Amino acid sequence: MFFKDIIGQENIKRRLINGVKEGRVAHAQLFIGAAGYGCLPMALAYSQYLCCENRSDTDSCGECSACRQITKLAFADLHFVFPIVKKDSKETFCEEYLKDFREAVAENPYMTLDDWQNRIADTKNTEIYTSEGDELIRKLNFKTYQSEYKVAIVWCAEKMNAFFANKVLKLFEEPTGKTLFILITEDEEQLLQTIRSRMQPIIFPPIDNENLRNALLSSNLEYDHDNIDYFIKNARGNWVDLLSNIEINEVQEQYFDLFTNLMRTSWTLKVDAIQGLLKDFSDLGRPSQIAFLQFCQKEIRENFIYNLKVSDLSYMNQAEEEFAQNFSRFINENNVAHLAAEFALAEAQIKQNGNAKIIFSDVILKLNKFIQMK
């Protein structure tokens, strides 16, 4: 992994590179930030730069033996710890999942914990187990094979159980030889205070919009180019969320069509239109009905913001904004809370296995009352 491959985060790149060049490498560092901000790829690029035999002033060479092996996550002096699932109630180690981890990172270095859990398990009960602490201590007691440094990356460190954390605490205090620990977490509050107090924190901010735009334009992704500003703005500096917004755009378009139909039908209360709408709602299926009601709450909020003419706080795509030009005037300070509450109530009732047609019928009638409030 190269620094140049990481989207944005130029200040952090410079800080890490300068630390290596000046011989100021803190032995225990804590990378804090969402997966979409680039913590894992930064840890990999940093490790490669540190171990590179012919590094430049800005990046690793990519050609030496260390670089080639680290690119494949198969370098003898680079160790990984990450959440796993026990197999058949036996002691299980990260080594047994390393092939999956390498493949997952190769496919997407901005991988999230959910991505990883969906890949290796049917449940969300992944953990960094106590036994992994003994294994890490054993590995780090060996001398380095090729590099000046031994590097241990603990990904999703918030998944460490307390026993593992206590086992490795002494390693953080008194590392053997030149050892670099990089802990990566999205939520530092879940880490033991004794761990946090021994780490040098590096907080990853959201990626700036310009770098997100450049990364998207240079990618091979297929997306609606007319809505590129919408995708970037809604990503809020998170590359993972940007990709997710693009992926679910077709579903969002379906929800938007239903939303506009719902609002028009609630205004006119034409029987034929109501019957057709109720059938469309029923055909969605319960998970999609819940997602649609959440989408409606977002649209109410967006139209209220649009009506207030606070464009910086508005996150609409082109089609939504065109609809809002005429519709938003019906969403005001007198009814916005009622409308949002009605959709939230319907969402709760659907989650409780309520009858969809009855619930949505009630929503339509309530909307007719609320959207006429001035």
pLDDT of residue 325: 85
Nearest-10 crossing angle of helices 239-247, 209-217: 50
Give the highest mean pLDDT range of 117-126, 237-246, 311-320: 237-246
Q: Are residues 154 and 221 in the same domain?
A: no
Whether the CB-CB separation of 38 and 239 falls below 8 Å is answered with yes
Q: pLDDT category, 110, cuts 50, 70, 90?
A: very high
- Identify the pLDDT of residue 122: 64
H/E stretch holding 152 reads strand 150-154
Task: Please choose, from the candidates 338, 351, 241, 345, the residue with its C-alpha nearest in 3D space to the C-alpha of residue 288.
Answer: 351
Element (H, E) at 43: helix 39-51
> Residues 145-188: pLDDT tens digits?
778 888 999 999 999 888 888 878 877 877 777 888 999 999 98
User: 254 and 222 share a domain?
Assistant: no
For residues 171 and 227, membership in a common domain is answered with no
Provide the pLDDT for residue 257. 86
- My answer on whether 234 and 296 are in the same domain is no
Residue 241 sits in the same domain as residue 200? no
**Domain boundary, last residue among 148, 175, 205:** 205
Same-domain status, 102 and 141: yes
- Residues 70 and 106: their CA atoms lie apart, in Å, by 11
The mean-pLDDT minimum among 24-33, 149-158, 224-233, 255-264 falls in: 224-233
Looking at residue 124, its pLDDT comes to 65
The tokens of 183 are what? Answer: 């802990």
Determine which helix (DSSP H) or strand (DSSP E) holds 255, and give its type and residue range. helix 249-268
166: CATH = 3.40.50.300
Same domain? For 220 and 98 the reply is no
Q: Do residues 48 and 71 lie in contact, with contact meaning Cβ atoms separated by under 8 Å?
A: yes
Of the candidates 44, 181, 201, the one whose C-alpha atom is nearest the C-alpha of residue 110 is 44
221 lies in the same domain as 201? no
Q: Looking at the structure, do residues 48 and 140 belong to the same domain, yes or no?
A: yes
pLDDT band at residue 117 using 50, 70 and 90 as cut-offs:
confident
Considering the domain architecture, whether residues 232 and 295 belong to the same structural domain is answered as no
Are 154 and 233 within one domain?
Answer: no
Instruction: Give residue 123's pLDDT.
Output: 63
The predicted structure's pLDDT at residue 89: 62
- Work out the number of other CB atoms within 10 angstroms of the CB of residue 335: 20
For 275, residues 6+ apart whose C-beta sits below 8 A from its C-beta are none
pLDDT exceeds cutoff 70 at 318: yes
What pLDDT band is residue 114 in, cutting at 50, 70 and 90? confident
DSSP-assigned states of every residue in 203-234: EPPPPPHHHHHHHHHTS-----GGGHHHHHHH
Residue pair 255/295 in contact (Cβ under 8 Å)? The answer is yes
Question: Higher pLDDT residue, 316 or 37?
Answer: 37
The amino acid occupying position 293 is L
**How far apart (Å, rounded) are the C-alpha atoms in residues 349 and 341?**
12
What digits encode the pLDDT tens for the residues 79-97? Answer: 999 998 887 767 778 888 8
CB 330 within 8 A of CB 371: yes
Domain count, the chain: 3
Q: What percentage of residues in the chain have a pLDDT greater than 70? A: 97
Structure tokens at 190: 């879940």
Average per-residue pLDDT for the chain = 87
Helix or strand holding residue 78 (H, E) = strand 78-81
Residue 26 belongs to domain spanning: 3-205
Domain co-membership, 240 together with 255: no
116/160 Cα distance (integer angstroms):
16
Residue 267, Cβ density class (10 Å: 0-12 exposed, 13-18 middle, ≥19 buried): middle
Domain harbouring 270, CATH code? 1.20.272
The answer to whether residue 31 scores a pLDDT higher than 90 is yes
pLDDT, mean of residues 300-315: 81
- Judged by DSSP in three states, 136 sits in helix
Q: How confident is the model at residue 209 (pLDDT cuts 50, 70, 90)?
A: very high
Give the model's pLDDT for residue 32. 96
What integer pLDDT is reported at residue 282 of this predicted model? 85
Structure confidence at residue 213 as a pLDDT band (50, 70, 90):
very high
Rounded to 5°, angle at Cα 352 from 351 and 355: 95
Q: What is the pTM of this model?
A: 0.74
pLDDT tens readout for residues 41-84: 999 999 999 999 999 999 999 899 999 999 999 888 899 999 98
